[in-house]
Amino acid sequence: MLTYPEIDPIIFSIGAVKIRWYGLMYVIGFLLAWWLARNRARRSWSIIKPAQVDDLLFYGMLGVIVGGRVGYAFFYGFDQLTSDPLYLLKITEGGMSFHGGLAGVMTAMWLYARRIGVRGWAVLDFVAPITPLGLFFGRVGNFINGELWGKPTDVPWGFQVNGQALHPSMLYEAILEGLVLFIILWLFSRRERPTMSVSGLFLFFYGVFRFAVEFLRVPDSHLGYLALDWLTMGQVLSLPMVVLGATLMFLAYRRQS
């Protein structure tokens, strides 16, 4: 059994400004996404050119931040939001929702696609392979913060937290939704693919991985299980991703044939 190292979430402070590991993880994720996007944009068949990458990622950052916060407020803090609309702006209460962030990024990418005069799905196909490493660093940030622990366990890689051994479910997500998903998408998209297929693959595998890990995660205390003593909000939000992803893959290759 492993012992959680109790990492200070604040790296250092300059006056009232506090630099946190969680924020640094986001910065690293965006910088890596920028580098990967520039690399992929040099391909002759790429819909996005290197000179457009900076604007593309700016739109993406806005989508992640706005969508992630709005999504959390609606999916996980709706009661607080209805009683206090300003809850949306209270970023120290609650957190960010991946599914909300995904919706925000998709909206931002469609807006950017309209701006440059290309198809929205083509831009999403370009962005999908560079997204998982950002998810990886975000989950590492969760680990540093000591949040999103899983259920009690006796596996040898469990972490001792407050006197009990817990599944490091945030690290499971970092590996599956981050590293494994990145490898799948990066290899799949190394050559030109039918429009919507890369996005579909991302949605399908993320949904499958997230649905599986939710069995080992502890649901949000104010929500609990939604049904059957095992169904969580994360699973409810992930199921449509699996269905939509499979549908997009089917349509993409059907249109090509």
The DSSP call for residue 3 is E
Are 253 and 197 spatial neighbours (Cβ–Cβ below 8 Å)?
A: yes
pLDDT, tens only, 187-208: 999 988 999 999 999 999 999 9
CB atoms within 10 A of CB 103: 19
- The half-sphere exposure of 157 on its side-chain side, counting CA atoms within 13 A, is 7
* C-alpha R_g of the chain: 19
pLDDT, tens only, 45-76: 899 999 999 999 999 989 988 888 888 887 77
The pLDDT assigned to 203 comes to 96
Q: Provide the whole-model pTM.
A: 0.88
The span from the CA of 35 to the CA of 104, in Å, is 22
The pLDDT assigned to 218 comes to 86
Calculate ∠ Cα 197-199-202, nearest 5°: 110
pLDDT, tens only, 90-143: 666 667 777 888 889 999 999 999 999 999 999 999 999 999 998 999 899 999
Domain boundaries, the chain: 18-256
Residue 239: burial class (beta carbons within 10 Å; 0-12, 13-18, 19+): middle
The span from the CA of 144 to the CA of 142, in Å, is 5
Write down the mean pLDDT value for the chain: 89
Taking alpha carbons only, the member of 235, 249, 236 closest to residue 202 is: 249
The strand pair at 17-20 and 10-14 is best described as antiparallel
